[in-house]
Amino acid sequence: DALEMVVATLEAMANGGMRDHVGGGFHRYSVDRMWRVPHFEKMLYDQAQITLALLEAGQAAGREELLEVAADTLRYVQRDLADEKGGFYSAEDADSLPPEASPPQPEQVQARGARDEVSPKPGEVRAPAKAEGAFYTWSDREIGLLLGADAEIFRMRFGVRPDGNAPSDPQGEFAGLNVLHVAQSVEEIGRATGRPPEDVAESIDRSRRALFEARSRRPRPHLDDKVLAAWNGLMIAAFARAARVLPGNDAAFAHSCLRSAQGAARFVLDTMWRPDGTLLRRYRDGDASIEGYAEDYAFLVFGLLELFQSDGDLSWLDCALELQRRQDALFADENAGGWFSTAGTDGSVLLRLKEEYDGAERSASSVAAFNLLTLFHLSGRSEFQGPLDRAFRYFGNHMTNLPSAVPMMLAAFSMHAAGLGQVVIVGRPGTPDTLDLERVLERRYRPFLIRIPLDPERRPAPGGVLSFTDAMKMMSGRATAYVCRDFSCQLPTTDPAELERQLG
């Protein structure tokens, strides 16, 4: 069925050469039909969107290994793409100087093998050239000398061969080199070697750590250190969602995900959002500039709404509301529906266009539809219903005749048709009774529910955007859950089992 197709695709991506099996994260795309040889560039928006897919599929299918890949991807972003001030960088290049361009360590002198080049003639100065995947590929000799007794298991696990393992290499860039991909399962290696699976897994973990340390001494790919509002919005959403989904796996890491999302949100709002309400598109070296496009507003609103659902901080919701109104004022097509990419204030832009399909990045209109659905089901305010209805009418022909071009808009429409419920948890953050109720929500994939955490010490103003929660309170001093639909709620409960029953 559809879920099996999604899981099979994500597993193939996680096991293939598109994933960095040493340092985490995903390369941009595969260049061969077996998905083993990637274009080695790493993009922030890819990390965000595949993390969201992994988290949803892992929950929906009950596949812990997909959640582990999501966590591994987020650790890469925290380590290599996070600015110390909070924002996230845009990308790492595909090519870099080969290992020979940095001073070799003693254990690497004999390991280069296929990487060795003919020595320059006396007096000749030869500048090393950057090579695609130089940071990520390995010769068999390197593997043997760096891993010692663990090398054989690592070769079996990741398909390492003496002559290299990249047959789809028309330019000859990877001759004698290996692109890591999962070739055998831990259980298959255990049967072949007669070793317990846990011993095999420990050997693989040791090898990954050893190669990560060796690789850290290589010249790194160039870092594109721009901070883009749109892509940061997607990454905020991924970290915020992970903070809700992953606590059962690793509570400390889940909390670090929340801190990453909060830090990035503060950075973008503080440095890229002008007092007049204009969102700026990019930041680099202390300079924020270029007025934002529709996608910058839509993606950031998406991230802020996910963050509000994770920590209950009302300031994120307030900012999301203001940014959504600004997006509608600047970009909405009041006649036909949907959102133009540009604001129409630049006289040099002769024709305003709309992004009408979900490509490598989802379109601004699709994300805006998600955002309006969420805002409507938080507030009940009709101001969000009109733009949403117009968008669905405009994209109706696309959804009917070319659905594969607008999958995110279709997902938004399915949420609209099914209707969104709300689960309000009134409780002190981090206390055992609050966590017990939150775990019920984390246990299963619930795409048609909005989670609303309310701290009794920091309630929203009465009559505000969350006015339907005004009368909600803790019962008997314990965290209390309210399951609602169309702003009509079932009896409140403090019992996790009863909450599970009400959710169905």
The per-residue pLDDT for range 64-94, each reduced to its tens digit, is 999 999 999 999 999 999 999 999 999 999 9
What pLDDT, in 10s, does the model give residues 179-229?
Answer: 999 999 999 999 999 999 999 999 999 999 999 999 999 999 999 999 999
Q: What percent of the chain has pLDDT over 70?
A: 94
pLDDT at 167: 76
Mean pLDDT, the chain, integer: 93
Structural domains for the chain:
95-220 (no CATH), 421-503 (3.40.30)
The Cα–Cα gap between 235 and 396 comes to 29
pLDDT score of 124 more than 70: no
For the chain, report the end-to-end CA distance as a whole number of angstroms: 22
Res. 108 pLDDT band, cuts 50 70 90: very low
Write the single-letter amino acid at 178.
N
DSSP helix/strand/coil, 131: strand
Kindly report which listed range (45-49, 109-113, 117-121) carries the lowest average pLDDT score: 109-113
Question: Alpha-carbon dihedral of residues 250, 252, 253, 256, nearest 10 degrees?
Answer: 160
The Cα–Cα gap between 175 and 473 comes to 66
pLDDT at 373: 97
pLDDT score of 109 more than 80: no
pLDDT at 344: 80
Question: Alpha-carbon dihedral of residues 388, 390, 394, 398, nearest 10 degrees?
Answer: 30
What pLDDT, in 10s, does the model give residues 362-386?
Answer: 999 999 999 999 999 999 899 999 9
What are the tokens at 329? Answer: 């004022």
What pLDDT, in 10s, does the model give residues 459-503?
Answer: 888 888 999 999 999 999 999 999 999 999 999 999 999 999 999
The Cα–Cα gap between 95 and 117 comes to 18
Q: What percent of the chain has pLDDT over 90?
A: 87
pTM (2 d.p.): 0.94
pLDDT at 463: 87
